[in-house]
Structure 1
Amino acid sequence: MQRFYVKGEVKDALITAVKKLKGGDPRQDDTSIGPMISESSAATVEKSVNEAVKAGTKLLVGGKRRGAFIEPTILEDAPFDTDTRKEEIFDLMILLYSYSDFKEAVKEANNTHYGLQASVFTHNLNKAFYAGGVCLNDSPRMCGDSQPYGGIKVSGIQ
């Protein structure tokens, strides 16, 4: 998962939860986050974080690399013109945006060329996104393999 649109009161709880995640050997029970596939992949993530911060994005949590490990990272308010915001980033980075108006958050979430997957965590099932697959109250990693995997926009059928 990459872009998180959260109500103001959820932001602090999310940050606290991410800070508690423990990186390490995925074979250990107390490990929450394992390493990237390679040191070069981790270096790419580290570079993305550094470029985003240089462009004005706030680093709230993590972002440091040790070999193939990247700390769980939360960035906030990435400017529109940054690759971090415009491109699909397959790494351990959360781009956080606070909102007060849900319709504006949905409009903002849909403001992308991509549309592979989306998740909505809500008690109100009338909320929706325009994406190839939408998981309710779970992340795309938990959606069944029987679900067609593809997207809309640049992520699939246009």
Structure 2
Amino acid sequence: MVSVTRLSIETSLPVDENELTPAEKGVLNLLAEGRCTPAYVGSELAIGADTARSVLDGFRDVDIVGKPYRGLYELQVGEETDHEKYRNTEAVLFDVPFDDDQFRPTERGILNLLAEGRAIPAYLAQELDVTQEWVKNRLHELTRLGLVRRRYRGLYELDVD
């Protein structure tokens, strides 16, 4: 369960923790765990997705939160964020526990992008310059293999268990 009473972020913030609402603390704690969508934040904190989006956009206005893709937010305090429009697929290869010839470069790219943090299919498709449908099919297969898990509707992460 995510805390809404205390911040669990290791880095200092440009805001006073005492001035944050419980919802704002909860949002920051969720972001400390990884990238989030407003729907995921809303479900985890039992607040509406619109309220979650409003809080996320408020943090974005003061450069605490970044938006690597439409509907996907990440904590950017103390981190360098450099999101190129498209990445070179070979630059996002991931060491998988299977033979390299079992995975295409873009499949390894999905795994590597997920190693950087949670993601949505549209973001992965943009980064790898492939279609969303292709990414969704690959995510389904990678989930079946136990490498990826669906955290929430449309939000995926590496399955580290």
Flag the structure with higher strand content: 1
Report the TM-score range of the alignment, normalised by the length of the smaller protein: under 0.3
Flag the structure with higher helix content: 2
TM-score by length of 1: 0.28
Structure with the greater relative contact order (CA < 8 A, sep ≥ 6): 1 or 2?
Answer: 1
TM-score by length of 2: 0.28
